[in-house]
Structure 1
Amino acid sequence: MEICEKISKILSDVKCKKPLVHNITNYVTVNDCANIILALGASPVMADDIEEVEEMVSISSALVINVGTLNYRTIESMIKAGKKANEIGIPVILDPVGIGTTTLRTKTVERLINKVKFSVIRGNMSEIKILAGIDAKIKGVDSEDTTKGAKKIARELALKLNSVIAITGEKDTISDGNRVCTIENGHKMLAEVTGTGCMTTALIGAFCGVSQDYYLAAVSGIASMGIAGEKAYRSLEENQGVGTFRVRIFDNIYNLKDDDFIEGGKIYEC
């Protein structure tokens, strides 16, 4: 079965099973992440108090950890929730937003990786390079690196961490250490809307909630955002900009169909 057909089946499962996705995420994009999960057909919950994260994880199908707006309180909640998720066997997805920018972010991600087993780690090229111990160019939470060498970096880091590694950017690269693919869906305007990376990670969480093949789940989440971005851009009329584009991302995720992957997926296995 071709990869686009495989991920279209996972989309159907999301809409049918409506997995509960527990997010400990950043307050800049928390509302967008909740709404993009809902638009896909899954169910979001945003809970970060240390007194309830274990209970919430226990009724969830996946846990998404996003370090975008760190504080000491939520760091401990992330670790506690992640350990509980590992204990009960649900997937944990990490978005290491801005790692390398400050010591707190870098040390926190290192601590998380040492204490929690992650099924998928999604970041931009600079973030993944830093995780891999490679010099990177980063500006705040944005990457200034090209995607050169992405396949090798993703494959080697996936084997090292025993996680699916997803590098998103102008061209996306995903690897579980054995399989590798690139995705060429998307539009440059996605980079002009705050939170599209965080939303992509949230989508990956929803797909991981219904599939034990986390490589395909990561491909599904990233391709979904790419296809939605393409459709949103094509729908723009004169004098419409990032505001309309942002809203139409949600509309296109809501209206995403199996055939969108099969007919429009630009996914190439290597």
Structure 2
Amino acid sequence: MSYLDQVRERKPLVHNITNWVVTNFTANGLLALGASPIMAYAREEVADVAKISGAVLLNMGTPDAAVVESILLAGRSANAHGVPVVFDPVGAGATPYRTETARRIVREVRLSALRGNVAEVANVVGESWAIKGVDAGAGDGDVAALAVRAAKRLGCLVVITGKDDVVTDGETTYVVHGGHPILTQVTGAGCLLGSVIGAFLAVAGDGAARLEAAAEALAFYGAAAELAFAATEGRGPGSFQVEFLNRLALVTSAELREMAAIEKLA
């Protein structure tokens, strides 16, 4: 059974501490996929919510002291109870505060996966890569090699998204082709992807299966984007966004097998 079918069958609870810009889109996207979202931010309950969840998504898109405290409390609780943690270091490298906060989180929380654009991932692990804002990610360099170095340094899966997506555990690396550039015109598309990866990790168990699940999550997300664009071409990002939510619900495992373009690097 595909991880996609397992998500839809098991409906894992995904605990999201995410930025306020994207909460509605994230919740709707997870519901469309078949997962069960919960948005819990209060320091008084985040540890309790994290321990009963299938996965925890930590996103620092709108950071402040209270959000960071909740992120750390939820992350530590997830670690203590064997719950996979996905971290999205939004804007790491854009300001000293964001960079220092991201580095603190990776020091204090044991991650299952780090998901970001190339500049964010580079800045989290202390490498130089220019960034102009939270959506920046272009540049020169070997993205796959950076992902491998980051995965080895952090001891977790690293997902670098861009024109093509890279996912690695530091030993085995996949490049996932597909998707569509119009995703960059939809606020929260990257943030939702982190939560979708969390849903797939929630059903994958431990070990090597998590790498396969993350790669399938990327391929699924790309397939949904391609189909949504084909159905709304010429109508703009608003129509695409609505149809993308539809496709998250409608893409079948058979369509995913046919469309997935996952390349294993030597």
TM-score, normalised with respect to structure 1: 0.94
Equivalent residues, number = 262
Residues 1:16 and 2:4 are matched in the alignment = no
Distance in 2 (alpha carbons) for counterparts of 1:9 and 1:78: 31
Say whether the 8 Å CA contact 2:130–2:139 is kept in structure 1: no
3-state SS of 1:181 partner: strand
Identity %: 38
Give yes or no for contact 2:120–2:137 (8 Å, CA) kept in 1: no
1:87 has 2:84 as partner = no
Offset of residue 102 of structure 1? 1.4
Shift of residue 214, structure 1, vs aligned partner: 2.1
Hey, what does 2:253 align to over in structure 1? 258
Q: 1:118 aligns to what SS in structure 2?
A: coil
2:179 is aligned with 1:163: no
Alignment of 1:33-52 (within 5 A): 33-52=26-45
Tell me which of the two structures has the higher relative contact order, counting C-alpha pairs closer than 8 angstroms and 6 or more residues apart. Answer: 1
> Quick one: structure 1 residues 91 and 20, their matched pair in 2 at CA, closer, same or farther if it must change by over 3 Å?
same
8 Å contact kept, 1:21–1:206: yes
Matched, 1:217 2:213: yes
Asked whether the 8 Å contact 1:63–1:93 carries over to 2, the reply is yes
Asked if 2 retains the 8 angstrom alpha-carbon contact of 1:21 and 1:64, the reply is: yes
Change (3 A) 1:114 1:138: same
* Amino acid corresponding to residue 60 of structure 1 in structure 2: S
8 Å contact from structure 1 (residues 147, 171) kept in 2 = no
2:242 is equivalent to residue 242 of structure 1? no
RMSD (Å) for aligned C-alpha atoms: 1.2
- Runs of 4+ with deviation above 4 angstroms: none
Q: Distance in 2 between matches of 1:228 and 1:70?
A: 30
Structure 1 CA distance, aligned partners of 2:183 and 2:151? 26
Q: Label 1:147 to 1:223 Cα distance change in 2 as closer, same or farther (>3 A).
A: farther
- C-alpha change, 1:147 and 1:209, in structure 2 (3 Å) is farther
Partner of 1:5: none
Equivalent residue in structure 2 for 1:172, among 150, 165, 168: 165
Structure-2 residue corresponding to 1:72: 65
Contact 1:201 1:221 in 2 (8 A): no
Q: Which blocks of at least 5 consecutive residues in structure 1 are unaligned?
A: 1-7
Which of residues 223, 228, 232 in structure 1 aligns to 2:228?
232
User: Which segments of 5 or more consecutive residues in structure 2 lack a partner in the other structure?
Assistant: none
The residue matched to 1:89 in structure 2 has which SS?
A: coil
Q: Is 1:150–2:150 an aligned residue pair?
A: no
1:34-53 CA-to-partner distances (Å, cap 9, x unmatched) read: 11111111100000100001
Question: In the alignment, which of 17, 22, 45 is matched to residue 29 of structure 1?
Answer: 22
Q: Is the 8 A contact 1:34 1:44 kept in 2?
A: yes
Question: What's 2:180 paired with?
Answer: 187
C-alpha deviation, 1:144, in angstroms: 4.1
State TM-score, norm by structure 2: 0.95
> C-alpha displacement at 1:147, in angstroms?
6.7
- Counting only pairs closer than 5 Å after superposition, residues 106-145 of structure 1 correspond to structure 2 as 106-145=99-138
2:254 alignment partner, SS class: helix
Compared CA separation, residues 96 and 237, structure 1 to 2 (3 A): closer
